[in-house]
Amino acid sequence: SQTIHQWPATLVQPVGSPLSLECTVEGTSNPNLYWYRQAAGRGLQLLFYSVGIGQISSEVPQNLSASRPQDRQFILSSKKLLLSDSGFYLCAWSEGVGQYFGPGTRLTVT
List contacts with other proteins (CB under 8 A). Answer: 32, 41-44, 46, 49, 88, 90, 92, 94, 97-104, 106
> Cβ closer to other proteins: 10 or 17?
10
> Cβ closer to other proteins: 11 or 44?
44
* Minimum gap (Å) between residue 80 Cβ and other proteins: 27
* Minimum gap (Å) between residue 98 Cβ and other proteins: 5
* Minimum gap (Å) between residue 19 Cβ and other proteins: 19
* Minimum gap (Å) between residue 32 Cβ and other proteins: 6
Q: Quick one: CA torsion of 8, 14, 18, 19, rounded to 10 degrees?
A: 20
> Cβ closer to other proteins: 22 or 106?
106
The amino acid present at 103, given as its one-letter code, is: P
What distances in angstroms separate CA 42 from CA 19, 56, 84, 110, one per listed residue? 22, 24, 13, 20
